[in-house]
Copies of this chain bind each other. A is one copy, B any other.
Amino acid sequence: MHAFDILGEPVRRRILELLERGERPAGDIGAIIQREFGISQPAVSQHLRVLRESGFTTVRADGTRRFYAVRPALFREVTDWVERYRVHWEDQFDALDGHLSAVQGRPVRSSRTRRRTRRNGRS
């Protein structure tokens, strides 16, 4: 599975967000995801499996608990791909911005538009 296929899934992206600050037991993740997306425990467990098997996360066992944590390595594939375009297209974007501000006299991209579209469940 390509890295993008892993991230091209709202639930999995959310799980990775939850792990941003550090490791968490599967139960914690499950509770949050189930509440937010309205899916069952096995469903979450299966997403965790995908993340685990694809190498996006590691797992540490402690008793019956499984602590999941992000493994940054695989993100390289994504960041590299994106970075290639960012550098390339940023120029065009800035050029367009410059053009617009020159024409309209407004400031150059003071704040970026961050849109976080969270769809509920199924894609």
Which A residues fall within an 8 A CB radius of B?
Answer: 1-2, 4-5, 7-10, 13, 16, 20, 70, 72-73, 75-82, 84-86, 88-90, 92-93, 112-117, 119, 123
Contacts and interface: CB of A to CB of B under 8 A. Distances in A.
Given A5-B8, A72-B90, 4 more contacts: A2-B117, A16-B85, A72-B89, A73-B93
Contact of A75 (B73, B89, B114, B116): B89
A77 B115 CA distance: 7
Contacts of A117: 2, 77
Contacts of A86: 75, 79
A13 B28 CA distance: 34
B2 A119 contact: yes
A8 to B, nearest CB: 2
